[in-house]
Structure 1
């Protein structure tokens, strides 16, 4: 990916706070038209990295390019291309939801009429029209998250940086968020999203970058993660028949207390073959599915390898 393609690129990025090295060495590529998941445990450097990409922190070393610009050098130009949604909504609590958006629009030097129209569009988009004239302090955590997303979209940015955007959202809002993120990527925007809910990232992300202790430890597509060796859960009407068949077939499995079994399989074709053989052996199979999301299992494998 070249710098002028409108995506995100970092190489060897470092950032310390005193003696604490928050980001040690991060290499990351996020492409336009795709959703890239930023995955890692607490303290892995995800939020610090996002702050550097947003131009709110300067890196100590390394290369950062967002939409072809260095946020630490070309701050104003970069911020015009970036939409930033932090994990905690911070705003003027006395302003209404509409005023929050029109104030941000003015900060981006949008004409008052354009800012007002944009506020109406975005409040409808995030389902806050009924609360447009309510002060921000009366909004719930989830409603503030939706307003924070609208705020990040005010100036129609090319790049979106979303830090835990689903935090506090109800199930309906989570579904709406996934659809909106996919729509934004479909429109050609670069979306980098950090979340602890890895099963949700499976449903909205195209690519993933895994961080651990401030370093990039793996980058891969979600499709590639799904095709790797991972645990599948197989259940049958007769747990005993299932266990006997697995033993007779020489298949290594981990039996669960509910009678199901976990089997490590290398992608969908291996799962289809297992199901075919079980049915041919008259095992009354009722379900066969991955035991967890592709990104969740990839992350857990990385943590096991590091230990």
Structure 2
């Protein structure tokens, strides 16, 4: 049975390992044409869920559809349509970067000419062309991550699962990764990213699913995340005038920092409220030297949830 809507749909999924309940009653949707972030603390069940989606683990209960297919009953159909990038590469040490991709292409049934062309193009995409003939074992952690991404894309999958894809990448490579994932989503692919770097996900994701203790606890789009209550850091010269102005507008604040870098932490209900306050302060001749969110939109949601962060 197929689902004309494609993407990923998970309903009521659970999976245990002996007495340990790794995933318990997870609902998860990732539509085509979008990047969906999977967010949660260590031990929350994210990797187990990704393994279930990749058809590498069977759920104890619940239903899963990936590109319209059941990973348990139709694993071959799912694997043909899915690219999987685990958090560690696992390379064939004796193969070159190019040979790794060509071998994966062969496993997916690509002809010799197609896999050679595809490998060359992808090495260029992930900026590894100069390492094409280098053994994979000599690549740095970041270079291996880029090779792992190219490997996941070798068969041009409909669905892409990425577990901590930015791990080990330098700042420039992180920017390139964001651009690549956005372009893949724009091309209609379903992209799921699990990462601890929430500030990065603000720039990549269209929506997010938060998990804690094996359960999905919240789902929201980035637009919804951006319109929620957020904390802001504000500085002015002098700070005493800022304090007087905030008190007059009924805005509560906490003092943070020290005498060299004192700042106020405030909480506002929306970006519109933040815009109003900044404009009002400036028009009131308060010399604002800094006014910025204390964290990203997804970080605000994460911190507001009763997650097991300890």
**TM-score, structure 2 normalization:** 0.96
CA–CA separation in structure 2 for the residues paired with 1:171 and 1:69:
37
Match of 1:161 in 2: 161
In the TM superposition, what whole-angstrom CA distance separates every residue of 1:30-64 from its partner, at most 9, and x where no partner exists? 00000000000000000000000001111111000
Match of 2:40 in 1: 40
Match of 1:115 in 2: 115
Structure 2, unpaired ranges of 5+: none
Within 5 A, what are the aligned runs for 1:99-114?
Answer: 99-114=99-114
CA–CA separation in structure 1 for the residues paired with 2:197 and 2:292:
19
Secondary structure of 2:15's aligned partner: strand
Match of 2:127 in 1: 127
Match of 2:194 in 1: 194
Contact 2:212/2:307 (8 A) holds in 1 = no
Contact 1:3/1:9 (8 A) holds in 2 = no
Match of 1:88 in 2: 88
Structure 1, unpaired ranges of 5+: none
Match of 2:26 in 1: 26
CA–CA separation in structure 2 for the residues paired with 1:8 and 1:38:
13
Query: Which of 253, 261, 281 does residue 284 from structure 2 map onto?
Result: 281
Aligned length: 306
Shift of 1:249: 2.8
CA RMSD, Structure 1 to Structure 2 (Å): 1.5
Match of 1:73 in 2: 73
Shift of 1:304: 6.9
Cα 1:286–1:304 shift into 2, 3 Å: farther
**Comparing 2-11 with 214-223, which one deviates more in the overlay?**
2-11
Contact 1:6/1:159 (8 A) holds in 2 = no
Shift of 1:261: 1.0
CA–CA separation in structure 1 for the residues paired with 2:292 and 2:309:
27
CA–CA separation in structure 1 for the residues paired with 2:237 and 2:306:
34
Shift of 1:158: 0.3
CA–CA separation in structure 1 for the residues paired with 2:238 and 2:6:
55
Shift of 1:102: 0.4
Contact 2:41/2:309 (8 A) holds in 1 = no
**TM-score, structure 1 normalization:** 0.97
Within 5 A, what are the aligned runs for 1:1-307?
Answer: 3-257=3-257, 258-303=261-306
Shift of 1:305: 10
Contact 2:41/2:308 (8 A) holds in 1 = no
CA–CA separation in structure 2 for the residues paired with 1:202 and 1:3:
29
Secondary structure of 2:305's aligned partner: helix
Contact 1:52/1:58 (8 A) holds in 2 = yes
